Structure 1
Amino acid sequence: QFRFIAEDITNLGDSGSGGSIIEAAIDDFTISIFETDPSFSGDLNGDGTLNVLDVIILVNIVLAGDCLEEADLNADTGCNVLDVVLLVNQILG
């Protein structure tokens, strides 16, 4: 059994809501771990790091008119500038 305290959040401007506390428990739950191939997260050269080398590979894929599943970062079934922008944003964080 997993026991915890559940508490309502009182929002500014609310009257008569929130602020209650209750002890709660969960009797049964499952924790799942999902491992993914790093190439699906933008690591196109498979070196374990997102960097400018991955951006260069992705730009070359887009310019060639090709599309690899691992290069389609936004999963819209195409490799284009949107994937490049997404990858650059991931790198710049």
Structure 2
Amino acid sequence: MEKYRIDEQQYFVIEQFDQAKTFSSFLPGLAGLYGIPIWSFYVNRGQAMVSFGVQDKNHAITEFFPANQAYQRVSMNGFRTFVKLTGEQGATIFE
């Protein structure tokens, strides 16, 4: 079985999360229906979401840290992320 996969419900799954190698990436251009696009920086440790902003990393809403510092800080400085999706079967909240 692969360690990283997208399951049949389109969830990103990490097998043996506590033993997985660390990784980080950006989610560009997230916005609501009439919102201003924002970027976000996440890692697969702690609370996941490390920083976000509307222009670039020099104009972050929450302080931007490079990956090597973010891995250490995310459990104390990160924040929980909730996403609400509305579809044909009603609203679903993902944490």
TM-score under structure 2 length normalisation: 0.19
The structure with higher relative contact order (CA 8 Å, sep 6+) is 1
Bigger Rg, which one: 1
Which structure: greater helix fraction? Answer: 1
Which structure: greater strand fraction? Answer: 2
TM-score under structure 1 length normalisation: 0.20
